[in-house]
Protein backbone atom coordinates (compact mmCIF):
# COMPACT_ATOMS: atom_id res chain seq x y z
CA UNK A 1 0.00 0.00 0.00
CA UNK A 2 1.29 3.45 -0.91
CA UNK A 3 2.40 5.74 1.89
CA UNK A 4 1.00 9.26 2.37
CA UNK A 5 4.21 10.66 0.88
CA UNK A 6 3.91 8.44 -2.22
CA UNK A 7 0.28 9.47 -2.74
CA UNK A 8 0.97 13.17 -2.30
CA UNK A 9 4.23 13.16 -4.28
CA UNK A 10 3.80 10.57 -7.06
CA UNK A 11 6.74 11.99 -8.99
CA UNK A 12 9.36 11.02 -6.42
CA UNK A 13 10.52 8.08 -8.56
CA UNK A 14 10.99 10.44 -11.50
CA UNK A 15 13.11 12.74 -9.32
CA UNK A 16 15.24 9.88 -8.01
CA UNK A 17 15.76 8.57 -11.56
CA UNK A 18 16.79 12.02 -12.78
CA UNK A 19 19.20 12.46 -9.85
CA UNK A 20 20.70 9.03 -10.51
CA UNK A 21 21.25 9.99 -14.15
CA UNK A 22 22.76 13.28 -13.00
CA UNK A 23 25.41 11.51 -10.91
CA UNK A 24 26.63 9.62 -13.97
CA UNK A 25 26.62 12.71 -16.17
CA UNK A 26 28.44 14.99 -13.74
CA UNK A 27 31.03 12.32 -12.91
CA UNK A 28 31.73 11.70 -16.59
CA UNK A 29 31.86 15.40 -17.47
CA UNK A 30 34.53 15.90 -14.81
CA UNK A 31 36.56 12.69 -14.57
CA UNK A 32 35.96 11.27 -18.04
CA UNK A 33 35.40 14.46 -20.00
CA UNK A 34 36.70 13.06 -23.28
CA UNK A 35 34.36 10.07 -23.03
CA UNK A 36 31.52 12.44 -22.16
CA UNK A 37 32.33 14.53 -25.23
CA UNK A 38 32.22 11.35 -27.31
CA UNK A 39 28.79 10.46 -25.97
CA UNK A 40 27.57 13.96 -26.74
CA UNK A 41 29.20 13.76 -30.16
CA UNK A 42 27.19 10.64 -31.01
CA UNK A 43 24.00 12.53 -30.14
CA UNK A 44 25.05 15.27 -32.58
CA UNK A 45 25.76 12.69 -35.26
CA UNK A 46 22.34 11.07 -34.77
CA UNK A 47 20.51 14.38 -34.89
CA UNK A 48 22.36 15.30 -38.11
CA UNK A 49 21.46 11.99 -39.77
CA UNK A 50 17.82 12.02 -38.76
CA UNK A 51 17.43 15.72 -39.54
CA UNK A 52 18.83 14.98 -42.99
CA UNK A 53 16.27 12.19 -43.35
CA UNK A 54 13.55 14.67 -42.35
CA UNK A 55 14.48 17.09 -45.14
CA UNK A 56 14.98 14.25 -47.62
CA UNK A 57 11.46 13.00 -46.91
CA UNK A 58 10.00 16.47 -47.46
CA UNK A 59 11.95 16.87 -50.71
CA UNK A 60 10.91 13.43 -51.97
CA UNK A 61 7.20 13.99 -51.48
CA UNK A 62 7.46 17.60 -52.65
CA UNK A 63 8.52 16.22 -56.05
CA UNK A 64 5.32 14.13 -56.23
CA UNK A 65 2.11 15.83 -57.33
CA UNK A 66 -1.48 14.67 -57.13
CA UNK A 67 -3.83 16.70 -59.28
CA UNK A 68 -1.09 19.29 -59.72
CA UNK A 69 -0.62 19.73 -55.96
CA UNK A 70 2.77 18.74 -54.49
CA UNK A 71 2.60 16.36 -51.52
CA UNK A 72 4.86 18.59 -49.44
CA UNK A 73 2.49 18.41 -46.46
CA UNK A 74 2.57 14.62 -46.52
CA UNK A 75 6.36 14.74 -46.69
CA UNK A 76 6.51 17.07 -43.69
CA UNK A 77 4.22 14.77 -41.70
CA UNK A 78 6.20 11.63 -42.50
CA UNK A 79 9.52 13.46 -42.14
CA UNK A 80 8.59 14.62 -38.65
CA UNK A 81 7.71 11.02 -37.78
CA UNK A 82 11.08 9.83 -39.07
CA UNK A 83 12.89 12.56 -37.13
CA UNK A 84 11.07 11.43 -34.00
CA UNK A 85 13.27 8.34 -33.89
CA UNK A 86 16.36 10.51 -33.24
CA UNK A 87 15.54 10.83 -29.54
CA UNK A 88 14.90 7.09 -29.28
CA UNK A 89 18.33 6.32 -30.77
CA UNK A 90 19.98 8.88 -28.49
CA UNK A 91 18.29 7.45 -25.39
CA UNK A 92 19.04 3.79 -26.08
CA UNK A 93 22.65 4.44 -27.11
CA UNK A 94 23.17 6.33 -23.83
CA UNK A 95 24.28 9.39 -25.78
CA UNK A 96 24.20 12.87 -24.26
CA UNK A 97 21.79 15.50 -25.59
CA UNK A 98 21.96 19.06 -24.28
CA UNK A 99 18.25 19.77 -24.20
CA UNK A 100 17.25 16.77 -22.07
CA UNK A 101 20.27 17.35 -19.82
CA UNK A 102 18.91 20.82 -19.04
CA UNK A 103 16.07 19.20 -17.11
CA UNK A 104 18.38 16.83 -15.24
CA UNK A 105 20.80 19.64 -14.34
CA UNK A 106 18.00 21.87 -13.03
CA UNK A 107 16.66 19.09 -10.81
CA UNK A 108 20.15 18.43 -9.47
CA UNK A 109 20.68 22.10 -8.62
CA UNK A 110 17.29 22.31 -6.88
CA UNK A 111 18.11 19.35 -4.64
CA UNK A 112 21.68 20.62 -4.12
CA UNK A 113 23.23 17.52 -5.62
CA UNK A 114 25.34 19.72 -7.87
CA UNK A 115 26.43 23.37 -7.88
CA UNK A 116 25.36 25.69 -10.68
CA UNK A 117 28.96 26.00 -11.85
CA UNK A 118 29.32 22.23 -12.15
CA UNK A 119 25.94 21.92 -13.88
CA UNK A 120 26.83 24.65 -16.38
CA UNK A 121 30.15 22.93 -17.08
CA UNK A 122 28.32 19.71 -17.83
CA UNK A 123 25.87 21.49 -20.14
CA UNK A 124 28.62 23.45 -21.91
CA UNK A 125 30.61 20.27 -22.50
CA UNK A 126 27.47 18.57 -23.82
CA UNK A 127 26.77 21.46 -26.19
CA UNK A 128 30.33 21.29 -27.47
CA UNK A 129 30.07 17.54 -28.04
CA UNK A 130 26.71 17.86 -29.81
CA UNK A 131 28.20 20.57 -32.04
CA UNK A 132 31.32 18.56 -32.85
CA UNK A 133 29.22 15.53 -33.80
CA UNK A 134 27.11 17.67 -36.10
CA UNK A 135 30.24 19.36 -37.47
CA UNK A 136 31.68 15.98 -38.45
CA UNK A 137 28.53 15.06 -40.38
CA UNK A 138 28.36 18.51 -41.98
CA UNK A 139 31.96 18.21 -43.15
CA UNK A 140 31.30 14.78 -44.62
CA UNK A 141 28.08 16.00 -46.27
CA UNK A 142 30.01 18.77 -48.02
CA UNK A 143 31.92 16.14 -49.97
CA UNK A 144 28.82 14.16 -50.91
CA UNK A 145 25.47 14.67 -52.61
CA UNK A 146 23.46 13.91 -49.46
CA UNK A 147 22.70 17.60 -48.90
CA UNK A 148 22.24 18.80 -52.45
CA UNK A 149 19.50 19.45 -55.01
CA UNK A 150 15.94 19.48 -53.61
CA UNK A 151 17.18 18.42 -50.15
CA UNK A 152 19.51 21.41 -49.93
CA UNK A 153 16.72 23.68 -51.15
CA UNK A 154 14.50 22.48 -48.30
CA UNK A 155 17.34 23.01 -45.81
CA UNK A 156 18.02 26.51 -47.13
CA UNK A 157 14.31 27.32 -46.89
CA UNK A 158 14.28 26.19 -43.25
CA UNK A 159 17.39 28.29 -42.53
CA UNK A 160 15.80 31.38 -44.11
CA UNK A 161 12.79 30.98 -41.82
CA UNK A 162 14.96 30.53 -38.74
CA UNK A 163 17.15 33.52 -39.54
CA UNK A 164 14.01 35.49 -40.41
CA UNK A 165 13.03 35.42 -36.74
CA UNK A 166 16.13 37.49 -36.00
CA UNK A 167 15.76 40.00 -38.83
CA UNK A 168 12.07 40.50 -37.96
CA UNK A 169 12.98 42.37 -34.79
CA UNK A 170 11.50 42.01 -31.27
CA UNK A 171 8.35 40.20 -32.38
CA UNK A 172 10.43 37.68 -34.32
CA UNK A 173 12.69 37.20 -31.29
CA UNK A 174 9.71 36.52 -29.04
CA UNK A 175 8.27 34.13 -31.64
CA UNK A 176 11.58 32.24 -31.69
CA UNK A 177 11.77 32.21 -27.88
CA UNK A 178 8.26 30.82 -27.48
CA UNK A 179 8.90 28.15 -30.12
CA UNK A 180 12.10 27.16 -28.30
CA UNK A 181 10.27 26.98 -24.97
CA UNK A 182 7.59 24.67 -26.33
CA UNK A 183 10.19 22.58 -28.17
CA UNK A 184 12.09 21.57 -25.07
CA UNK A 185 8.93 21.36 -23.02
CA UNK A 186 7.82 18.56 -25.34
CA UNK A 187 11.24 16.87 -25.33
CA UNK A 188 11.35 16.78 -21.55
CA UNK A 189 7.72 15.77 -21.11
CA UNK A 190 8.78 12.66 -23.01
CA UNK A 191 11.79 12.18 -20.72
CA UNK A 192 9.49 12.66 -17.73
CA UNK A 193 7.38 9.78 -19.00
CA UNK A 194 10.51 7.68 -19.57
CA UNK A 195 11.91 8.36 -16.10
CA UNK A 196 8.74 8.27 -13.98
CA UNK A 197 8.53 4.49 -13.58
CA UNK A 198 4.92 4.16 -14.78
CA UNK A 199 5.90 3.07 -18.29
CA UNK A 200 7.56 -0.33 -18.07
CA UNK A 201 8.03 -1.38 -21.70
CA UNK A 202 10.49 0.08 -24.16
CA UNK A 203 7.94 0.30 -26.98
CA UNK A 204 5.73 2.77 -25.11
CA UNK A 205 8.79 4.76 -24.04
CA UNK A 206 9.86 4.92 -27.68
CA UNK A 207 6.41 6.07 -28.81
CA UNK A 208 6.45 8.85 -26.21
CA UNK A 209 9.80 10.09 -27.47
CA UNK A 210 8.82 9.78 -31.14
CA UNK A 211 5.61 11.75 -30.59
CA UNK A 212 7.34 14.54 -28.66
CA UNK A 213 9.89 15.10 -31.44
CA UNK A 214 7.19 14.72 -34.09
CA UNK A 215 5.25 17.59 -32.52
CA UNK A 216 8.24 19.90 -32.38
CA UNK A 217 9.34 19.09 -35.94
CA UNK A 218 5.85 19.27 -37.46
CA UNK A 219 4.94 22.54 -35.71
CA UNK A 220 8.27 24.14 -36.56
CA UNK A 221 9.44 24.56 -32.97
CA UNK A 222 13.04 25.58 -32.33
CA UNK A 223 15.70 23.18 -31.02
CA UNK A 224 19.08 24.80 -30.34
CA UNK A 225 21.17 21.72 -31.16
CA UNK A 226 19.24 20.82 -34.32
CA UNK A 227 19.46 24.46 -35.47
CA UNK A 228 23.22 24.53 -34.87
CA UNK A 229 23.68 21.40 -36.94
CA UNK A 230 21.41 22.62 -39.74
CA UNK A 231 23.26 25.96 -39.89
CA UNK A 232 26.59 24.11 -40.07
CA UNK A 233 25.46 21.87 -42.93
CA UNK A 234 24.02 24.74 -44.97
CA UNK A 235 26.96 27.00 -44.11
CA UNK A 236 29.40 24.48 -45.54
CA UNK A 237 27.27 24.00 -48.65
CA UNK A 238 26.11 27.49 -49.59
CA UNK A 239 27.28 30.00 -46.98
CA UNK A 240 25.55 31.55 -43.98
CA UNK A 241 25.26 34.80 -42.01
CA UNK A 242 27.10 33.71 -38.85
CA UNK A 243 25.82 36.64 -36.78
CA UNK A 244 22.18 35.85 -37.45
CA UNK A 245 22.77 32.13 -36.90
CA UNK A 246 24.52 32.77 -33.57
CA UNK A 247 21.65 35.02 -32.46
CA UNK A 248 19.12 32.32 -33.36
CA UNK A 249 21.01 29.67 -31.40
CA UNK A 250 21.46 32.01 -28.39
CA UNK A 251 17.72 32.73 -28.14
CA UNK A 252 16.87 29.07 -28.78
CA UNK A 253 19.21 28.05 -25.95
CA UNK A 254 17.44 30.40 -23.53
CA UNK A 255 14.02 29.20 -24.63
CA UNK A 256 15.05 25.55 -24.48
CA UNK A 257 16.31 26.02 -20.92
CA UNK A 258 13.07 27.70 -19.88
CA UNK A 259 11.02 24.89 -21.43
CA UNK A 260 13.09 21.96 -20.17
CA UNK A 261 15.07 23.29 -17.23
CA UNK A 262 12.46 25.54 -15.63
CA UNK A 263 8.98 24.40 -16.71
CA UNK A 264 9.81 20.69 -16.37
CA UNK A 265 12.98 20.38 -14.27
CA UNK A 266 12.50 23.03 -11.57
CA UNK A 267 8.72 22.75 -11.60
CA UNK A 268 8.61 18.99 -11.03
CA UNK A 269 11.49 19.22 -8.56
CA UNK A 270 9.41 21.66 -6.49
CA UNK A 271 6.04 19.89 -6.67
CA UNK A 272 7.67 16.59 -5.64
CA UNK A 273 9.72 18.07 -2.79
CA UNK A 274 8.41 16.38 0.36
CA UNK A 275 11.02 17.86 2.71
CA UNK A 276 8.52 19.93 4.70
CA UNK A 277 5.97 17.10 4.65
CA UNK A 278 8.47 14.68 6.21
CA UNK A 279 9.17 17.12 9.01
* pLDDT value at residue 1: 43
* pLDDT value at residue 14: 81
CA 269 to chain centre: 20
pLDDT at position 2 over 90? no
pLDDT at position 8 over 70? no
Domains in the chain and their CATH numbers?
10-273 (1.20.1080.10)
The model's pLDDT over 180-217, given as tens digits with 9 standing for 90+, comes to 999 999 999 999 999 888 888 999 999 999 999 999 99
Q: Do 103 and 25 form a contact (C-beta atoms < 8 A)?
A: no
Q: Rounded to a whole number, what is the largest CA-CA distance in the chain?
A: 70
This prediction's pTM: 0.92
Question: Which residues have CB under 8 Å from 101's CB, separation 6+?
Answer: 25, 122, 123, 126
Q: How confident is the model at residue 67 (pLDDT cuts 50, 70, 90)?
A: confident
- Report, as an integer, the average pLDDT of 34-61: 95
pLDDT at position 277 over 80? no
Q: Do 100 and 195 form a contact (C-beta atoms < 8 A)?
A: no
Q: Do 137 and 45 form a contact (C-beta atoms < 8 A)?
A: yes
pLDDT at position 3 over 70? no
pLDDT at position 79 over 60? yes
Give CA separation, 40 vs 23, 75, 97, 192, in Å. 16, 29, 6, 20
Q: How confident is the model at residue 6 (pLDDT cuts 50, 70, 90)?
A: low
- Report, as an integer, the average pLDDT of 75-81: 96
Q: Which residue has the higher pLDDT, 81 or 8?
A: 81
Q: Which residue has the higher pLDDT, 30 or 141?
A: 141
- When the pLDDT of each residue in the chain is averaged and rounded to a whole number, the result is 91
pLDDT at position 17 over 90? no
Residue 66 in 3-state DSSP?
Answer: strand
Please report how many Cα atoms fall inside a 13 Å half-sphere around the Cα of residue 56, on the Cβ side.
12
Amino acid sequence: MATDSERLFPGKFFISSALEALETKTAMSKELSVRYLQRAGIAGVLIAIFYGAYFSTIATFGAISVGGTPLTGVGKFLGAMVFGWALVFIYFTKSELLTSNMMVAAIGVYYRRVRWTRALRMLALCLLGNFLGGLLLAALAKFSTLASGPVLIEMEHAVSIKLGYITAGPFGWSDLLVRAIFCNLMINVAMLLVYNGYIKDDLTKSLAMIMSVFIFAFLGLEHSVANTILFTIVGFKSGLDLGLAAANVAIALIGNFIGGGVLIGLYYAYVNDDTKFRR
